[in-house]
Amino acid sequence: MFKDNLLKEQPVIRHDWLLEEVSELFQQPFFDLIFKAQCTHRAHFNPNQVQLSTLLNIKTGACSEDCAYCSQSVRFKTKIESEPLMEVEKVVSAAKKAKANGATRFCMGAAWRSPKPKEFENVLEIIKAVKALGLETCMTLGMLNAEQAMLLKTAGLDYYNHNLDTSESYYENIVSTHSYQDRLETLANVRTANIKVCCGGIMGMGESLVDRAALLQTLANLPVHPESVPINQLVRVKGTPLAEVRKLDPFEMVRCIAVARIMMPTSMIRLSAGRAEMNDELQALCFLAGANSMFYGEKLLTTGNATTEHDRQLFNRLGISSIQST
């Protein structure tokens, strides 16, 4: 924990946020909001350290769902070629490379509505093999029932990613093949299995400020805050329904991170998708606003990311080091 004189009292961990309160945070003057977020951040974390995760797509494309942002949906004409679940050895090889480059967490994603029994057995073997390397493990496999969540825990899974994406009221504009409640039930199953939760959203999908506030309200009012909160900026992929949506104002992205940090003081706030479109100055503002985790590596599922060498140079310029354990 890193403390200084900017904040004399510890921020209160709350689970009773009102939508009006959250909306007011979003509307604060930019510098006031950043200052408050940085004070909160320093009360719980070293402000000059960032946790590094690497993300690998272990099964690509042919997903039955219609998430409007996703290039892997079978319903959209994108350039993504479907690929079956990767072999254990190939995943382990990628995990070793990620660890050598400084990642402490290895995240794996499969484009499914939910895992099928035969492939699920292979997923469990992948988790065991990656865990044996000394890395934290994270999976995103779609919806889970209670039994599947317990099996993942037994295999050694540390984190499960299942984003809420946006507010409940705006959700029907983004997905129609499953409900918001389906997502919340998966999160509950993961928490019951004692797996840490990685859950955030995507900004820039045409949602309003109130929708962003409602998303963060939902996350912060969960019985336990997600240990990791990915804040994604929409990557507009040709062929998806959101390919032509208006680009997000960069300062709005920073505001989202700052508000998330204030509301969830002890969570790792992750700078996620869309980072390849951000310049170094914008990324520095995101770190200042309270982001202290990021994906490290040149690809995020099917979209590009900054190179590891560029990230190292940025860290050197900012005086940032990587967190070795979480």
DSSP at 247: P
Instruction: Examine the pLDDT at 86 and tell me if it is beyond 60.
Output: yes
- Angle, CA 30 vertex, CA 29 and CA 34 arms, to 5°: 120
CA 38 to chain centre: 20
For 138-159, write each residue's pLDDT tens digit. 999 989 999 999 999 999 999 9
User: Which single residue is written with the structure tokens 């070795």?
Assistant: 324
Return the pLDDT at 97.
Answer: 87
For 255-292, write each residue's pLDDT tens digit. 999 999 999 999 999 998 888 888 999 999 999 999 99
> Residue 76's closest CA among 62, 88, 96?
62
For 176-230, write each residue's pLDDT tens digit. 998 999 999 999 999 999 999 999 999 999 999 999 999 999 999 999 999 999 9
Amino acid identity, position 121: E
Work out whether strand 159-161 and strand 196-198 pair parallel, antiparallel, or are unpaired.
parallel
Q: How confident is the model at residue 306 (pLDDT cuts 50, 70, 90)?
A: low
> Residue 167's closest CA among 202, 130, 117?
202
Beta-bridge partners for 59: 110
Q: What percent of the chain has pLDDT over 90?
A: 60
The residues carrying an active-site annotation are 63, 67, 70, 107, 138, 198, 270
- Cα(191)–Cα(267) distance, integer angstroms: 15
